[in-house]
Amino acid sequence: MTTTTASFAYTSTTWPVLDRMAAAHRRSWKMLAAPGEWWTGAERISIAAECRRASARVDGLPDPGPGPAELPEAAVFAIHKLIGDLPNVTRDWYDETISAEGMSDAHYIELLGVVVHIWSVDEFHRALDIDLEPLPEPLAGEPTQIRPTGAKAHGSWPPTVWPDDLDERDADIYGGADRAANVRAAMSLHPDSVRWLTDLFDAHYLSWIEIQAVQEPFRVLTRPQRELVAARVSALNECFY
């Protein structure tokens, strides 16, 4: 099921979802529907749909069905791996995935960007027992296939772009900082995924500026309580980093 407008109105739930969260979720759906650098809008919707199929498989729920566009076999496999078999994601698997037909390192990072952001919004809904938002209708247009010229090997599997190497069109992705956190830089082969990450991170957790600050801006949980939860989620996922 798809929709032409993303509401995220949260009118049918009694949970007091913050406006800044609802607004970020609506922006997420807009980003999802638009063509990216390496995938069309329809393919991005299909990545999101496959993400939901993977989640349903994990949960033993009925298959919600595929999206509007066919995806490369390696892409489908990657989505299911990232959702349901994260501890077994390895360097060899990554190398094999980006070498497969219809894939590249840039395709993979954009796919990962769609998967993690849709998964995150859906997980928020599942945790609160709120129905999942229908996926949006794809917007027309072709992928730009613009690859950042400053992308280099910096230790993560995919090449990344450090602040000094940003192209002018992507100068904003680290907020003007001269350093970038590894987790943001990891997505920089697809700059819009860094923008998306920042937007949703700010809404779900704290802005990067707020993290550095002493005051607790708008949260109910204290910092130790949030970090306890964050650490537990990482441990449950067997995430070493």
Q: Which of residues 153-182 bind another protein (CB under 8 A)?
A: 155-158, 182
Is 219 one of the binding residues for another protein (CB under 8 A)? yes
Is 79 one of the binding residues for another protein (CB under 8 A)? no
Is 77 one of the binding residues for another protein (CB under 8 A)? no
Is 239 one of the binding residues for another protein (CB under 8 A)? yes
Is 99 one of the binding residues for another protein (CB under 8 A)? no
* Of 141 and 232, CB closest to another protein: 232
50 closest CA partner among 135, 121, 145? 135
111 closest CA partner among 149, 64, 76? 76
Distances (CA, A) of 212 to 33, 88, 179, 209: 33, 33, 14, 5
Q: Which stretch binds another protein (CB under 8 A): 32-40, 62-70, 140-148, 196-204?
A: 196-204
Is 235 one of the binding residues for another protein (CB under 8 A)? yes
* Of 39 and 157, CB closest to another protein: 157
By CB under 8 A, the count of residues binding another protein is 68
Is 120 one of the binding residues for another protein (CB under 8 A)? yes
Binding residue for another protein (CB under 8 A) from 82, 100, 132, 139?
82
